């Protein structure tokens, strides 16, 4: 047969040429199952021969195909694909030159493939993988003690392969450092919990989340390594967002403790924008905190009242001026404040910060989130929609004034027009004429067209 290096080169070429397994419309081609099986057989031969180059090529190609063709790939699992990747991973981890990029990349691909089988969520996939030695192999890879992407991905997929009731056990081991996990392994475990918690919907599964939340709070209290702290908070936020619609204040101790922690973190997290407009690593965490608290506020009126009593709108108002250089983060903060304090807060901030384009833009976006029935999903703020007809002209005047001040900003003009259209629908033409607003509305519209 052909030398392994030639076979590896062919596999790399075929991986790049998706026409081998996709049709002209990007759908799975009829020959895809045969192609998938052929590459899997080639990986099997590579494992038998300890051919690292061919293992790297085949595992990378299979990763792409398994991700794109989960239905077909599950059949591959039923024929023992788990053992195939376990064997390849075992060879790679024992390789004396494991630190080389190609060897580590091949190990990453094998770990990823085992994770893809798990995340596909097919009935019986977890049991099959465990029977084929995948969980043991991933646990070994997650505890190499070297750090890096392989350990992080392996630890993440270990957690994915567990039942919800087993996850707290892993974190108790993290707390006891038995067996020892590197920062990479801890990050992987935390990321998995963040993703898993966000997808929990069944009541029976939701009942298992408080135990996970408790161990996350313990981990945070122990001050995990610096690079893991943000991951820990994101995992806490994810569990909180899943539990808040099902339990109000005082009903779950772990949820109350977690909300107190989120509020404290919101107050203490430094502004991620310095005086030069540069962003710090804290921006991502601040976005997650703000988004999570907003979701909690919208989950139930009791949570909204609780967060208002904690002074969150005032915290947002205080922080807003320092964040104006980042439009995205400003919008997040406006959205949270509006979820709690409604349209009056938006108008107050718009009037006080009329010269700041980012605050004007965030105000307009939030007005749209509140008033537009076409806004879908978690950003919709119709729950705080409370605008008396007599207040519409005043809001219109503010919107038009802001548009006039920022006439060169196309986004502000576009969103301002959207706000005007939504506001006009809330009142009568007679009322607008009486308030002398019609001429201002028409002028703003013509200015935008020009």
pLDDT in tens, 39-51: 999 999 999 999 9
pLDDT value at residue 105: 92
The answer to which of 183-197, 234-248, 396-410, 415-429 has the lowest mean pLDDT is 415-429
At residue 61's C-alpha, the angle toward residues 57 and 63, to 5°, is 120
pLDDT in tens, 257-288: 999 999 999 888 777 665 555 556 578 888 89
pLDDT of residue 281: 59
H or E stretch covering 65: helix 52-68
pLDDT in tens, 343-356: 888 899 899 889 88
Mean pLDDT score across all residues of the chain: 86
**Is it the case that residue 404 has pLDDT exceeding 60?**
yes
Choose between 437 and 45: higher pLDDT.
Answer: 45
Which of 17-21, 61-65, 211-215 has the lowest average pLDDT?
Answer: 17-21
Q: Higher pLDDT residue, 281 or 163?
A: 163
Q: Are 110 and 88 in contact (CB under 8 A)?
A: yes
Q: In this model, does residue 449 exceed pLDDT 60?
A: no
Q: Give the model's confidence band at 24: pLDDT under 50 very low, under 70 low, under 90 confident, else very high.
A: confident
419/423 Cα distance (integer angstroms): 6
In 3-state terms, what secondary structure has residue 26? Answer: coil
Higher pLDDT, 249 or 176: 249
Average pLDDT for 164-187: 85
pLDDT: which is higher, 330 or 179: 330
pTM exceeds cut of 0.95: no
- Asked if residue 29 has pLDDT above 80, the reply is yes
Strand ranges (E), 63-167: none
Do the beta carbons of residue 250 and residue 256 sit within 8 Å? yes
């Amino acid at each position: 047969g052909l030398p392994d290096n030639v076979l590896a080169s062919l596999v790399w070429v075929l991986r790049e040429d998706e026409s081998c397994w996709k049709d002209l419309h990007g759908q799975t081609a009829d020959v895809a199952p045969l192609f998938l099986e052929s590459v899997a057989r080639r990986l099997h031969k590579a494992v038998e021969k300890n051919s690292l180059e061919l293992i790297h090529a085949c595992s990378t190609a299979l990763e792409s195909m398994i991700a794109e063709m989960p239905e077909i790939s599950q059949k591959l699992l039923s024929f023992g694909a788990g053992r195939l990747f376990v064997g390849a991973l075992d060879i790679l981890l024992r390789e004396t030159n494991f630190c080389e990029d190609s060897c580590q990349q091949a190990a990453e691909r094998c770990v990823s493939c085992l994770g893809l089988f798990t995340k596909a969520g097919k009935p019986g996939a977890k049991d099959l993988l465990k029977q084929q030695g995948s969980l043991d192999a991933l646990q070994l890879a997650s505890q190499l003690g070297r750090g890096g992407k392989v350990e992080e991905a392996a630890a993440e997929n270990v957690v994915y392969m567990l039942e919800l009731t087993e996850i707290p056990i892993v974190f108790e081991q993290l707390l006891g450092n038995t067996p020892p996990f590197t920062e990479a392994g801890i990050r992987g475990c935390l990321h998995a919990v963040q993703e898993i918690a966000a997808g929990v919907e069944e009541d029976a599964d939701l009942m298992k989340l408080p135990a996970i939340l408790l161990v996350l709070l313990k981990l945070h209290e122990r001050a995990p390594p610096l690079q893991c702290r943000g991951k820990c908070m994101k995992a806490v936020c994810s569990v909180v967002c899943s539990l808040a619609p099902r339990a109000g204040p005082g009903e779950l101790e772990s949820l109350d403790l977690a909300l107190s922690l989120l509020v404290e973190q919101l107050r203490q997290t430094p502004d991620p924008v310095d005086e030069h407009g540069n962003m710090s690593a804290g921006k991502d965490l601040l976005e997650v905190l703000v988004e999570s608290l907003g979701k909690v506020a919208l989950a139930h009126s009791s949570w909204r009242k609780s967060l208002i009593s904690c002074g969150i709108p005032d915290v947002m108002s205080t922080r807003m001026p320092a964040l104006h250089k980042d439009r995205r983060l400003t919008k997040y903060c406006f959205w949270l404040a509006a979820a709690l304090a409604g349209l009056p807060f938006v108008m107050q901030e718009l009037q006080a910060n009329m010269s700041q384009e980012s605050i004007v833009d965030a105000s307009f976006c939030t007005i749209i989130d509140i008033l537009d029935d076409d806004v879908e999903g978690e950003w919709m703020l119709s729950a705080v929609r409370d605008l008396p007809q007599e207040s519409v002209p005043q809001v219109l005047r503010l919107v038009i004034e802001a548009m006039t001040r920022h006439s060169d900003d196309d986004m502000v003009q576009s969103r301002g027009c959207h706000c005007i259209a939504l506001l006009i629908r809330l009142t009568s033409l007679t009322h607008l004429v009486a308030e002398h607003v019609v001429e201002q509305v028409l002028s703003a519209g013509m200015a935008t067209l020009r």
